[in-house]
Amino acid sequence: MRRREFIKLLGGAVATWPVAAPAQQSASPVIGFMSARSPDDTGPVLQAFLKGLGESGFFDGHNVTIEYRWARGDYSRLPAFAAELVQRRVNVLVATGGNASAIAAKHATATIPIVFVAGDPVRHGLVQSLNRPGGNVTGSVIPTTDMDQKRLSLLHELVPTVPLIGALLNPSSPGQENQLPELEQAARTIGRRLFVAKASNDEELNAAFALLLQQGIGALLVAADPYFDTRRDHIIAFAAQNRLPNVYHFREYAFAGGLVSYGPSITDGYRQAGNYTGRILKGEKPADLPILQPTKFDFVINLKTAKALGLTVPFGLLNAADEVIE
């Protein structure tokens, strides 16, 4: 073949080659969302997280994908969840439902950004300080366990003549070693005897109920713990059936039939975590985002439950309550 004919043939072939398609847009970022709680008791706070995420312009199923993992109160499942989501190479790992979830996430990765909703991150080694967390971890503090003393004081105001108050604690919960001595000191301060029963699974919880009744408690404090959150209705039913005045850490308990709740707004904490997650997806670094602390606290009294228990709530408590359920 002559050179001129070859060039002509090549030119024709090039003209018929397919034009390269433009590069496809990158896939949506993926958020790994792991919780020590269960989806059944997390509806309102999950919606708050999604609201905060939306404030940063991200919407699940639209421009971001969320993969969920629920431990349902079994903390032993959390390390495997964290490892699985790290293996999945999620863009952000969100650890919620208490310290156990955040600790598992921290142990699983030092590179993937982590946003937590937990208590006392400095004590548990999650961050260096609240203002300058450092590393790959930031989030929102929900200081529930630090307020068990205040809740015990509220219970004392409601039933000042009860000689023995019962408390439920989870021995598997990180930080419980501080809860017990702090509660015992609070009981001594108000001059009340305290009997503590411990449970970290359903069998132990039912045994704890029986032990508390055997001891003759006259009121019940449920220490802040995600496992108890997953068994909220069961615990409230126990208190109602045995006519025990009761106090809890989240407002959801009071709205589900508990007598009193006092603690930080968990929905606000989850909304803040959602907002931080979106900001990190946009390029901000966890080390540059200071740990968010609660600005809103909920004190809720359920007067319907008080009436069923034959209690008269002091006017001072009613006046101080943020919400009264009638």
Give counts: helices (H), strands (E), the chain: 13, 12
Task: Per-residue pLDDT tens, the chain, 326 aa: give them.
Answer: 444 444 344 344 433 333 333 333 358 999 999 999 999 888 899 999 999 999 999 999 999 999 999 999 999 999 999 999 999 999 999 999 989 999 999 999 999 999 999 888 888 888 888 888 989 999 999 877 668 888 999 999 999 999 999 999 999 988 777 788 888 888 998 889 999 999 999 999 999 999 999 999 999 999 989 999 999 999 999 999 999 999 999 999 999 999 999 998 889 999 999 999 999 999 999 999 999 988 888 999 999 999 999 999 999 999 999 999 99
The CATH number of domain 145-264+298-325 is 2.130.10.10: no
Q: What is the pLDDT of residue 219?
A: 97
- Residue that is written with structure tokens 């909920």 in the block: 298
Helix (H, G, I), strand (E, B) or coil at 47: helix
Beta bridge partners of 31: 66, 92
9-18, pLDDT tens digit by residue? 434 443 333 3
Q: Which residues contact 31 (CB under 8 A, 6 or more apart)?
A: 53, 64, 65, 66, 67, 90, 91, 92, 93, 94, 277, 281
In the prediction, which pLDDT does 102 show?
94
Which CATH architecture is the domain 30-143+265-296 placed in? 3-Layer(aba) Sandwich (3.40)
pLDDT in tens, 92-138: 999 999 899 999 999 999 999 999 998 888 888 888 888 889 899 99
What does the domain layout of the chain look like in residue ranges?
Answer: 30-143+265-296, 145-264+298-325
Residues with Cβ within 8 Å of 264's Cβ and at least 6 positions away in sequence, in order, are 142, 143, 144, 147, 294, 296, 297, 298
Burial 230-263 (b: 16+ CB within 10 A, else e): bbbeebbebbbeeebbbbbbbbbbbebbbbbbbb
The predicted pLDDT at position 173 comes to: 85
How many other CB atoms are there within 10 angstroms of residue 3's CB atom? 7
pLDDT of residue 11: 45
Tell me if domain 30-143+265-296 and domain 145-264+298-325 are identical in fold.
Answer: yes
Confidence (pTM): 0.85
Determine contact, residues 317/306, Cβ cutoff 8 Å. Answer: no
Backbone φ and ψ for 31, nearest 5 degrees, come out as -105, 130
Contact 116, 95 (CB under 8 A): yes
239 phi, psi to nearest 5 deg: -65, -40
Place of tokens 């004590």: 123
pLDDT at residue 206 in the model: 97
